[in-house]
Structure formats: structure tokens, C-alpha cells
Amino acid sequence: MSFFEYRNGEMHAEGVTLAAIAAQVGTPFYCYSAGALRAGWREFADGIKGMKAPHKVGVCYAMKANSNLAVIRVFAEMGAGADIVSVGEMRRALAAGIPASRIIYSGVGKKASELMEALQAKVGQINVESTAELETLNAVAGQLGVRADITIRVNPDVDAGTHAKITTGRKENKFGIDIDLAREAFALAGRLPNLKVVGVAMHIGSQLTSLEPYRAAIVRVRELIGQLRADGHRIDRFDIGGGLGIVYADEKPPSIAEFMAVVARETAGLGCELTFEPGRRLVGESGVLVSEVILVKPGAAKTFVIVDAAMNDLIRPTLYEAWHDILPVREARQDAATIRCDIVGPICESGDFLAQNRDLPPLAAGDLVMIRSAGAYGAVMASSYNTRPLAPEVMVDGTRFAVIRPRPTIDEMLRAERFPPWMEPVKA
Ligand code: LLP
């Protein structure tokens, strides 16, 4: 079942028309399908059940992809843990009902104060990415009189075959500890009295559409685990990270079952509990961005369709040259001619586009368009550049919908700022 589809010529999110939401909430807005979120989670849960070897497995939603409280809550209700990268995300995970014991704290630059808060909240696992962080965490844990459960994230030097800005497992990337230096790091961790090493972690990149990089990385880490055990370390957990790709255009990402089959095969006999940190795969296709056409500007070279969503709302097209499908909310006639156009926002930058050189049915001022696969790294990466209020977020569940983050008013935006006390007050 598709959670976003035309019915009677109108694009629906489950049982609600996007036009009805637009009429009530205004545009632009993000819309998430709770049914799609749950289906995404179930695909993971079923994939794990289908694993041949008896593996103990945990799934921690990488909430950086979409950290709206209501979205996290959907996964919390289904038993998810969370992968967090800041204390802010930790607070969100806890507020949405994820138990602290199921939280993994990742990130390349955690501050002592953040590590302190995480330990005080009793998060289940901290993925350490440098020897400096080992020392800091050991000191903080000592101050609190606790022992921190850690993994060390290693950098296996494998090319994930994805966009350069979201590749994380190459030697030249800042992430993890170089696999060639990992044994020294584990030796240090073993000497630090307030750390308890529970395993190894990796995360090689995002939007992977091939399983081969996972296989190659697992093989390298598996070898390392053997050496670490020979060195006398207990390695009970293997955190495989996230990164599975979704469909934006015509990608053919592997199914979760296929992914799990490779993981099960390559980790067979390792005796490790496995953890996964999927982000995009759980939310990406479950969300869309809806925008209204402000005007159409025919040019000598091409036509510009200027819409009321912009790069501040969805930065992926200009940041990663990412493709997002764009569809009219009212279905075009089958025989409608198309026009070649750029779909752009109102921001004063040429990088402000949602799509370039697309063939779309003719659009006119007031028409609504839907930008597909915007549930991951959409709203979370938005800014209020040009004093454009953050687009609201809406959740649909069956025939119900609710605003799960309202659009701030301009007054609220201005009230967040201050004049320094030495400035003359503005005369009314
Ligand atoms: N675990 C770690 C340690 C990560 O750094 C990430 C993502 C994930 C899990 C989740 O990866 P996913 O399953 O979502 O691929 N803003 C970019 C994506 C950045 C991903 C950063 N790390 C984009 O819009 O494509």
C-alpha cells in the first residue's frame, strides 16, 4: 500500500487530502504518514525475525533524520531505541518515551558537559570516536562514580559509494578511529578504570544502495574483533550503524530482508549482539513537503516555477545535488503536455532550488505541489534564513491529522532576539 497516492485525482496522505491540510495549515508544510512510519519499522522488525542465525538485535532509530517528538513517539511505541548525537536529541528521545537504557550516544565531538548529562541520564551506550574522548569520558565517569558502557567506533576505510558529503567510513573522513589504530585505542580503554568496553561500532555512510560496502566493512571489523579478543577484550556487541538508502528517483535500494541476510551471513558465529541505527530508511519516504506555486516566470532559457518552499525548508537539493520527485497535488490529465522548468523558492540565491530541468505538467499560481521523500533530513535541516518561519509539521494517521509543530509567528521570531542595553529604544 502506498501512503501517498492520488485518489479521485487528489493526492492523499492516507485518508486525508493534502489540499485539505493546506487549507487549514497554510503552505509550505511537512506532512508525515504515521502508517508509513509504522510500516517502515515493521519492515525492519520482520527483517530481523527472518535472520537465520539466532542473533540478539537492537534497533536504535537515528533521530537526526527526523527528531519531531511525535515521530519518535511512533517508534517508541513500537519498542525502538534511539541513536542520538547531542544532549538536545537525548532530551527529545526521553520526552518521547524511549528508555534511557535503549539510547546510544554517537558523535565525533562530545563535550565533557554533554557526556556528564548523558551519564547522569544513564544512557545505555556511548560510541567513542577518539582517544581524547576516551580520556574525557573516563574522567567524567570517575567524577560521577559510575562506569560507562562504551563501544569504540572504528573507521574501516571502505567506500560507501554514496555522495561525498555523506560518506563517513573512509580514512580521510573525520569519523571513528582508524581501524589500523583501533587495537591501541581498545588497549587504552581497557586501562581506564571507569570505562567498560562492550563492543565495536561502525557507520560507513548514508543513502547506500548497494550491500557490498556493508559486507566489506563487516569483514574488516570482524577480523578486528578476532584480534581484540586475542588481546583479551570482551567484545559482546557489534553496532553496524545506519545508512540504508531509499527511493528518491529510480534507485533500487536493497530490501531489509536482503540487508539482514548479508549481515547475518557475515556475522555468523561471531557471538555478538547486533545493533542497527537506521534513520533515513525509517522516515524518508514517510514524509513530503507541500508547497504552493506563487508565480510562473517564463524565461528565454527556461521556465521558473516559483513556489513558497525554499532551500531554507529543504536544503538537500542544493547541498547534495539531491533529486526529489515533485508532483502536482491535483493529478494532471494523462495527456497533459509537460513544460521543462526549474522549481525554485523565493530566496535571494541561485542555489535556492528544489529541482532543476524537470518536465512537469503546466502549473499556475495557487497550485499545490508535493515534494516527495522529504521525511528524512528535511525539517530537521531547515533554517529561518530570510526570516522565513520554519515550515510546520503535520502527522496524518488514517483519516485524522494534527499539527505536530506549528509554524512560528513572525512576532515569536522577533521576540527571541534582544537589543543590547546601551542602544536607544525604538520610538513607537
Ligand atoms: N548512525 C550514525 C553514527 C550516523 O552518523 C548516521 C547519519 C546514522 C546512523 C543514520 O544514517 P541513515 O540511516 O539516516 O543514513 N543530511 C544527509 C544525511 C546525513 C547522515 C549523517 N549520519 C542527507 O540529507 O542526505
pLDDT in tens, 332-371: 988 888 999 999 999 999 999 999 999 999 999 999 999 9
Dist. CA 384–CA 398, nearest whole Å: 31
DSSP strands (E only) in 129-218? 148-155, 177-178, 195-201
Residues in the chain: 428
> Which residues face 296 on adjacent strands?
305
Which residues contact ligand 1 via a Cβ below 6 A?
62, 64-65, 83, 106, 166, 203, 206-207, 241-244, 277-281, 316, 320, 377
Alpha helices, DSSP H, located in 192-248: 212-230
Counting from 1 in the atom list of ligand 1, the atom nearest the Cα of 245 is 15
Q: What is the number of helices (H) and of strands (E) in the chain?
A: 12, 21
Q: What is the pLDDT of residue 164?
A: 81
Dist. CA 59–CA 363, nearest whole Å: 43
The full set of domains in the chain, from first to last, is 4-32+284-415 (2.40.37.10), 34-281 (3.20.20.10)
Residue 36 makes CB contacts below 8 A (sequence gap 6+) with: 3, 4, 285, 286, 375
Cell matching residue 165: 558529503
Give the residue among 24, 58, 53 at the shortest CA–CA distance from 262. Answer: 53
Report the Cα 22 to chain-centroid distance in Å: 25
Cell matching residue 425: 529604544
Dist. CA 200–CA 154, nearest whole Å: 7
DSSP strands (E only) in 232-373? 237-239, 273-276, 287-298, 303-307, 326-328, 339-344, 353-360, 368-371
How far, in Å, are 41, 63, 224 from residue 376 at the CA level? 14, 9, 32
Q: What is the pLDDT of residue 2?
A: 87
DSSP strands (E only) in 130-209? 148-155, 177-178, 195-201
Give the residue among 171, 135, 132 at the shortest CA–CA distance from 154. Answer: 171
Q: Does 348 participate in catalysis according to the annotation?
A: yes
Element (H, E) at 329: none
**Best residue among 60, 63, 64, 127 to mutate for probing ligand 1, ranked by most atoms within 8 Å of CB:** 64
Low-confidence residues in the chain, pLDDT < 70: 1, 52-55
Q: What is the pLDDT of residue 396?
A: 98
Could you give the dihedral angle defined by the CA atoms of residues 165, 168, 173 and 179, in that order, rounded to the nearest 10 degrees?
Answer: -170
Q: What is the pLDDT of residue 53?
A: 54
Could you give the dihedral angle defined by the CA atoms of residues 319, 322, 328 and 332, in that order, rounded to the nearest 10 degrees?
Answer: 150
Burial of 347 (0-12, 13-18, 19+ CB in 10 A): middle
Counting from 1 in the atom list of ligand 1, the atom nearest the Cα of 106 is 3
Centre of ligand 1 from the C-alpha of residue 166, in Å: 7
Centre of ligand 1 from the C-alpha of residue 243, in Å: 6
Q: What is the pLDDT of residue 356?
A: 97
Q: What is the pLDDT of residue 54?
A: 57
Counting from 1 in the atom list of ligand 1, the atom nearest the Cα of 65 is 14
Dist. CA 318–CA 312, nearest whole Å: 10
Q: DSSP string spanning 367-408? A: -EEEE-S-SSSSGGG---GGGPPPPPEEEEETTEEEEEEPPP
Centre of ligand 1 from the C-alpha of residue 171, in Å: 18
pTM score above 0.95: yes
Q: What is the pLDDT of residue 55?
A: 67
Quote the Cα angle for 313-174-210, to 5°. 70
Report the Cα 160 to chain-centroid distance in Å: 17
Counting from 1 in the atom list of ligand 1, the atom nearest the Cα of 243 is 15
Q: What is the pLDDT of residue 168?
A: 80
Whose CA is closest to atom 22 on ligand 1? 206
Quote the Cα angle for 276-394-391, to 5°. 100
Q: What is the pLDDT of residue 125?
A: 97
Dist. CA 355–CA 111, nearest whole Å: 38
| 256 and 209 Cβ atoms separated by less than 8 Å | no
Residue 238 makes CB contacts below 8 A (sequence gap 6+) with: 199, 200, 201, 221, 225, 267, 270, 272, 273, 274, 275
For 80-88, the CB contacts below 8 A with 24+ separation are 80/41, 81/124, 81/275, 83/242, 83/277, 83/279, 84/123, 86/114, 87/114, 87/117, 87/118
Rg (CA), the chain: 23
Q: Tell me which of 31, 60, 272, 348 is the catalytic residue.
A: 348
